[in-house]
Amino acid sequence: MLPLQISYRFLRSSLGQTIMIVLGISVGVSVQVFIGSLIGGLQDSLVQTTIGNSSQITIVREDNISDYQMLRDDIIAIEGIESVSYALDAPGTIILDDVSKPILLRGLDLELSEDIYELQEKLVEGVFPSALNEILIGKDLYEELSLSLGDTMTLEIPLVGSDTMTVVGVYDFNVSQINNLWIISALDTAQSVLELPGQVSKIEMQVDDVFMADSTATVISEEIGTEYEVSNWIDQNQELLSGLQAQGSSSIMIQVFVTISVVLGISSVLAITVIQKSKQIGILKAMGVKDKTASLIFLSQGFLLGILGAIGGVLLGLLLTYAFSTFALGPNGEPVVPLLIKPSFIMLSAVIAIISSSVASIIPARRSSKLSIIEVIKNG
């Protein structure tokens, strides 16, 4: 306890210097916390925009899948799978009076697909299909065609034929390509229209960890056999992942820069402190304090400075994050850039600050242990 008590007294005796060091560490840690939250938010936003409400792993077969319910039971038991649904898709054309539009008919199990597409939240008008030949239509296409709920239109499927469909609801994915293209029906409607009873064209799923989708897809592929083709969002979005990795590298570079700054700053200040406190150290050694104890005094100073700076930096970083989220808002009232606070990253930033300040005190500590009592007395 003696080294800790003496180091505390040294810090208090040079209070202004101590405050400046702690403030410097705090600023560095707060920058790490804020930038980390910013980069984390950008990454999460990019991932959610790309795959948030879509299939993260998809299974297809050259022919349609008829044993899809049994296949789903096998897949849902695999570790890492969050939800599994199935769909029957086919391109077609809707015809209303003299207007025709290319569309993609998507027959979904509306209950199971809720975990993937969250259609309840995206339904902006009307109800879900409850009878054959009832459909949901995208908001953009609905407005373009000046439709009303209850309107009917002709759906033509190449090589199959045509059916009359009734609009019972309107969805909005906030993605114009989807809103203009997808016509959503219950699975039994699509099977009836396409004359494919008891069949689906794909099995869709989401996973617990989106960044493990490729390894989970490999496990699924081994489980269900080679007759099925298993694809995942990671393999299909390599460009996006490269951008995420670049952002992660930026965060690491900031941590490295802050670490170097902390080490150099504290090392320099404590080296000066050794000179300033040489008389006190000499007196302590004359009283029987060993070289090892003298070293521990300065190591303790670095440790204490690191703890104080880490605590201050985390609080300041969280305050900056809160202020940014509260005041930097777009026209819609949402933050201009979403922030994502990760407790693990905050803890890492604090630990790096404490370790850096402790390491920075090693050289001054060694110098203090080598101080000669005789030299200190000679130099006054």
364-374: pLDDT as tens digits: 666 655 555 55
Confidence label for 21 from pLDDT (cuts 50, 70 and 90): confident
Residue 256 is predicted with a pLDDT of 74
Among 200, 236, 255, 240, CA closest to 68: 200
What is the per-residue pLDDT across 266-308, written as a single tens digit (0 to 9) for each? 666 666 665 555 555 555 555 555 656 666 776 777 788 888 8
Among 264, 258, 205, CA closest to 79: 205
Query: In DSSP terms, which residues pair with 134 in a beta bridge?
Result: 166
Confidence label for 357 from pLDDT (cuts 50, 70 and 90): confident
2 Cβ contact partners less than 8 Å away, ≥ 6 residues apart: 289, 293
Among 136, 185, 196, CA closest to 160: 196
Q: Where are the domains of the chain?
A: 2-48+240-378, 63-226
Q: Which of 229-233, 245-249, 357-361 has the highest mean pLDDT?
A: 229-233
pLDDT at 50 over 60: yes
Sign of CA dihedral 196, 176, 58, 128: negative
Residue 144 is predicted with a pLDDT of 92
pTM of the entire predicted model:
0.63
Among 150, 172, 162, 160, CA closest to 94: 162
Length of the chain: 380
β 134-138/161-171 pair status: parallel
Residue 274 is predicted with a pLDDT of 57
